[in-house]
Amino acid sequence: MTKSLEKSVGRALLVAARLHRSRMGERLNALGLFPGQEQALKALQPAPMTMGELATLLRVKPPTVSKTIGRLSLQGLVTREGGGRDGRLVQVALTESGQKTAAALDAVWNQVEDELLEKLDAKERKQLRKLLRKASKGLSKAGVDVDDADAEGDEAESDAA
């Protein structure tokens, strides 16, 4: 038996994801960024890394990272330098302007997150995070880790609730 499109969880998730991406795009545009660039900036905020490390962290292919870093470099937000003993390894680091932009991204993310969750109470928010992580695990390929970094935070919240 097939579900109607209107009752499809996948369809509801897709609509929410598109709306989230659109809202983030509006906010990022105000900072001169495109969706996806914010992830690279936030990943580089703690410390420089190689292009390969960045690709792995962002779960994208190296050419995608190369293109993103190229654009961010043209904007003066990152620098690329040959690293260490192997000149082929390129280290990417945020410039001072890149650090400021990365810091501003927290406010952007929080604004959109507040809009996304404004109709949900604390219990529903926790439940949604848990269910989305569970659904992600169901879709992930065998052997691929799903980021559960905030799972401990959910457990701590449940103790406090």
Q: Tell me: the pLDDT tens digits for 83-130? A: 666 666 889 999 999 999 999 999 999 999 999 999 999 999 999 999
Q: Distances from the Cα of 136 to the Cαs of 10, 35, 142, 151, in angstroms?
A: 12, 21, 12, 13
User: What stretches of 40-106 adopt beta strand conformation (E)?
Assistant: 49-50, 78-82, 90-94
pLDDT at 19 over 70: yes
pTM of the entire structure?
A: 0.73
CB neighbour list of residue 23: distance below 8 Å, 6 or more residues apart: 112, 115, 116
Top pLDDT among 161 and 55 is at: 55
